[in-house]
A and B are shown apart, each in its own frame.
Chain A
């Protein structure tokens, strides 16, 4: 039997003006991600059909679950547009879905080919009857079914049950390219994931303060970049040496300003790097009030160092929600590895909470970081993190 996936696309369909461009992006993206693992990809309005190479099912499913622009997907049976063939396939799909003890189901049908002898209501009704007859113990439940048997009558007839969710959103790169400020923590990978599903292509930048931060901390960031690359389709990770800048701030800045000045310097460096790599925005994992540098006043100050839009998708999220997402995308277990930055010695005991842009800008200028930042950018190294997915699908 062919290994066929029916793939649903979502938000793209709402984009009346440039729908074609979005579709083209998704097609190209899928083709590249699935290369070597599929026999055929067919595109129809609102649906994509992917025929996997035998043995590549897990990989294909992991890719489909991570590709932005895909709403959902399911293993599907493709049969002749004849009622008997459709019923037989529906019973088989129901039998598979029911193996895990599920009993309450409903049938849902769509008919775009009006020449098919049954309309969608009749089709669902008859499929329900056939399933009940073939699988004793099953029960129709239209309100809270445990599984649903879907039938689509289009160019051919397709039958599937229990579709998987995709990440939805917009195709990769359709919103240009952003630069993600990636640390080893829990938040920034999630921020990257959230922006990737909005169609933002990503590169990432990591500030490495060796020897204050360890080689293991850098390896951890690379592992996190790999997770994000599964959603973006690959990315470039920039490592910017930050030790000299950090030392200067520690030596010259007032103690309560050290974290704030460090954030400002990171923003400035990121923007310079963004211009260099052609990114149109910065992405951070900041969340309002989470730490002292993330009050509205302090965000205003760090923002004042840059002109690019700064996307903070976690700004209104609760830490628990962020952790849940981190678990879902598989970054959590990496983020909690013990190699955190050794910046403890750099963090002030009582950081300034309410920055004033003018006053703090003056303090920032007095640090004379310019040459240090230029030097750091010169010494920045890049690492290509290719697209890849873990072969088990995301746990959630």
Chain B
């Protein structure tokens, strides 16, 4: 199998899974328990939190820090008051995955809406967010939230001005992803955060809205230090970087009132007995990815160049966004969308699968969806036929150049044969 679908999920590191399973079996206590086994599990969980925090540039002991023991019961989390940029490096909350991390932030906006006696709660989000944000927001719109969706330019990038321009006095949340999962476009988060701050001032607001970023495709692949970007929170997923499914995290640099409280675990932000196994494996996978970041990035850049070069040699095939070139820092080299006009991306992906090559059409989660719309590509203003004919190729550290060649040869042959 030639696996070029790393953005959907990555082959897990078996050694890490085993290590985590053994640790969880050994430290079986409930981290909320005061007895020996509980405290042992708590220590291991805190170590995992510190490990992931170090990768994110928020070492333990920083303001906000790791949440205390369970049972604090407070619905309002701690964290540095005044939001990001006030000196706190934030904290790490373990979740069941990226989607849950996103949902905690989005549902906090719903809570705000429910608590408000009158007055609107408004959210600004990009129209190219992952379904975890986009579809959830569409749902919340039906429950009383107001949302504005901002389109990227044809290059797949959002302009800070357009995000700031969509803000209102009552905007409570801004959500812009770090790296788009279909185009690889790296959004200018720092500039957007700055524009949001400035817009807040000119709107006469005392504070800026919460700025959340789904950074699932960024962690372990590109340098990503949330506190330095001026954002308030970021969502991560373990299985995109060779960790296990069912593990994710929310980095939080600002206070948040969650909609779900339960037993108060994870500083009251993510109730439910913690998965030590998931947290440990995630933190170790993130640590490994971070240690190899420069090397992996360089490797991805060579694969990207090979891919773009090869695509240019297939008559009719196009890299998306149109005009994307190798080494362009505005795009993650791990992700590339390519259009094969005249051939449905779904058909090409199917034919490639028959040849033992795994790629996808957009996000794997939306490939199952009823609608065939290519929301992200259409939001870029790409003509329908091009979006329809696009596939996504995504690589990882274990991808070999020969696999790229095999993909290119096979895709070229299939395209010649199946193009209509």
How many contacts A-B (CB < 8 Å)? 25
Say if the beta carbon of A214 comes within 8 Å of chain B: yes
Cβ-defined partner of B350 (8 Å) among A214, A250, A338, A345 = A214
A contact residues around B369 at 8 Å (CB) = 338
Chain B nearest Cβ from A296, distance in angstroms: 29
The answer to whether A345 touches B343, judged by C-beta atoms less than 8 angstroms apart, is: yes
The answer to whether A211 touches B420, judged by C-beta atoms less than 8 angstroms apart, is: no
| Cα distance, A212 to B350, chains bound together (Å) | 9
Q: Which of A247, A250, A338, A345 has the most CB of B within 10 A?
A: A345
Chain B nearest Cβ from A248, distance in angstroms: 11
| Cα distance, A345 to B343, chains bound together (Å) | 8
Say if the beta carbon of A387 comes within 8 Å of chain B: no
CB contacts under 8 Å to B, within A211-261, are: 211-212, 214, 247, 250
Given contacts A247-B420, A338-B370, contact A211 B351 (CB under 8 A): yes
Chain A nearest Cβ from B214, distance in angstroms: 26
Say if the beta carbon of B132 comes within 8 Å of chain A: no
| Chain A residue at minimum C-beta to C-beta distance from B371 | A338
| Cα distance, A250 to B343, chains bound together (Å) | 13
| Cα distance, A212 to B343, chains bound together (Å) | 9
CB contacts under 8 Å to A, within B342-362, are: 342-344, 346-347, 350-351, 354
- Of the four ranges (under 10, 10 to 19, 20 to 34, 35 or more), the interface on chain A belongs to 10 to 19
A contact residues around B420 at 8 Å (CB) = 247, 250, 345-346
Q: Which of A211, A212, A214 has the most CB of B within 10 A?
A: A211
Say if the beta carbon of B298 comes within 8 Å of chain A: no
CB contacts under 8 Å to A, within B141-175, are: none
Q: How does the 8 Å CB contact mask read for A294-309 relative to B, with 1 for contact and 0 for none? A: 0000000000000000
| Cα distance, A346 to B370, chains bound together (Å) | 21
Cβ-defined partner of A342 (8 Å) among B342, B347, B370 = B347
CB contacts under 8 Å to B, within A342-365, are: 342, 344-346
Q: How does the 8 Å CB contact mask read for B365-403 relative to A, with 1 for contact and 0 for none? A: 000011010000000000000001000000000000000
The answer to whether B347 touches A211, judged by C-beta atoms less than 8 angstroms apart, is: yes
A contact residues around B343 at 8 Å (CB) = 345
Given contacts A247-B420, A342-B344, A345-B344, contact A211 B354 (CB under 8 A): yes
B contact residues around A212 at 8 Å (CB) = 344, 347, 418
Chain A nearest Cβ from B413, distance in angstroms: 13
| Chain A residue at minimum C-beta to C-beta distance from B389 | A345
| Chain A residue at minimum C-beta to C-beta distance from B350 | A211
A interface list, Cβ under 8 A from B: 211-212, 214, 247, 250, 338, 342, 344-346
Q: List 12 A-B contacts (CB under 8 A).
A: A211-B347, A211-B350, A211-B351, A212-B418, A214-B346, A250-B420, A338-B372, A342-B344, A342-B346, A342-B347, A345-B342, A345-B420
